[in-house]
């Protein structure tokens, strides 16, 4: 059994709005193993993004604990959390946040410079290697307004991977892309996972989630069930496309049973 790299214990998140309590997350208990690719699904308003932000320390928890790589992040201060996110976490969102005054390359290397885990020369080389692998090396000197959505999201992925994070957190990473670009970005996330990066992703897409090892179904801030698909194995002679099609059908049937 793989080690647990991320665990939520009785995690709760409550918002107080005009004197009324909104319990967005209710006693969430969740374990993510090292090397897993886990998707969180559920209807709009179920708390998916809130869970992602809270379990990564981007948002405060109301109660409970989150253990990341053996450390309790609920006991960390803002400075410690910022350092943890910079060094051990990577983030990619539906909205492709990048600094407008920096070119693509400079956006990618910035977290590497800030973390100072490598020399600037090493950061630059790693950024170039990532961009070549992701097929966007030709965009290095371009402004963020001069590239396509798919290229920009792959640049965001390169930036998220620059410090070799333990966990990649992804919130609807393909939500703003067309189907071709979505599959390209997803394919690169799968490759990152195969290389050892744990992935925790929020998605509405059955096609995207079908590449996951495990799917968590969230409803009204509570985990209602999970589906284990495991890693994709093509050693039986079936193509990846055939495997994905079967997984997607299995996932769709399960989601319907969950009330999707």
Long-range contacts of 178-187 (CB under 8 A, 24+ apart): 178/149, 178/150, 180/150, 181/148, 181/149, 181/150, 181/153, 182/207, 182/208, 183/207, 184/135, 184/150, 184/154, 185/150, 185/153, 185/154, 185/157, 186/211
Which pLDDT score is estimated for 19? 81
Residue 106 falls within a domain, yes or no? yes
What is the reported pTM?
Answer: 0.94
- Evaluate whether residue 129 is within a structural domain: yes
Domain containing 118 — which CATH number? 3.40.50.300
Looking at the structure of the chain, the number of domains it has is 1
Considering the domain boundaries, does residue 6 fall inside one? no
Residues 90, 167 contacting (CB under 8 angstroms): yes
- Residue 110 within any structural domain of the chain: yes
Give the structural domain span for 192: 36-46+77-258
d(CA 175, CA 156): 14
| Residues 81, 10: Cα–Cα separation, whole Å | 20
- Which pLDDT belongs to residue 1? 61
pLDDT of residue 76: 95
- Is residue 7 included in any domain, yes or no? no
In Å, what is the CA distance from 144 to each residue of 106, 118, 151, 169, 175?
11, 25, 9, 22, 18
152 located within any domain: yes
Between CA 103 and CA 139 the distance in angstroms is: 9
Q: pLDDT 10s digit of each residue in the chain, 260 long? A: 679 999 999 999 999 888 888 899 999 999 999 999 999 999 999 999 999 999 999 999 999 999 999 999 999 999 999 999 999 999 999 888 899 999 999 999 999 999 999 999 999 999 999 999 999 999 999 999 999 999 999 999 999 999 999 999 999 999 888 888 899 899 999 999 999 999 999 999 999 999 999 999 999 999 999 999 999 876 667 788 888 999 999 999 999 999 88
Contact 58, 85 (CB under 8 A): yes
């Amino acid at each position: 059994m793989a080690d647990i790299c991320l665990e939520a214990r009785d995690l709760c998140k409550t918002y107080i709005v005009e004197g009324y309590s909104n319990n967005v997350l209710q006693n969430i208990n969740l374990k993510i193993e090292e090397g897993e690719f886990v998707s969180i699904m559920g209807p709009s308003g179920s708390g998916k993004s809130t869970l992602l932000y809270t379990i990564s320390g981007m948002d405060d928890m109301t109660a409970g604990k989150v253990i990341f790589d053996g450390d309790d992040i609920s006991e960390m201060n803002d400075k410690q959390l910022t350092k943890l996110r910079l060094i051990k976490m990577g983030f990619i969102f539906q909205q492709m946040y990048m600094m407008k005054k920096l070119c693509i390359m400079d956006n990618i290397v910035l977290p590497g410079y800030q973390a100072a885990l490598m020399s600037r020369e090493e950061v630059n080389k790693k950024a170039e290697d990532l961009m070549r692998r992701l097929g966007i090396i030709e965009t290095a000197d371009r402004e963020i307004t001069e590239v396509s959505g798919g290229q920009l999201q792959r640049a965001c992925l390169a930036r998220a991977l620059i410090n070799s994070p333990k966990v990649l957190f992804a919130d609807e990473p393909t939500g703003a892309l067309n189907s071709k670009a979505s599959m390209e970005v997803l394919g690169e996330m799968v490759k990152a996972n195969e290389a050892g990066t744990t992935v925790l992703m929020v998605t509405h897409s059955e096609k995207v989630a079908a590449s996951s090892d495990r799917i968590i179904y969230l409803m009204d801030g509570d985990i209602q069930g999970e589906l284990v698909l495991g890693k994709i194995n093509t050693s039986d002679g079936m193509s990846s496309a055939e495997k994905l099609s079967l997984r997607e059908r299995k996932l769709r049937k399960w989601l319907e049973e969950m009330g999707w």
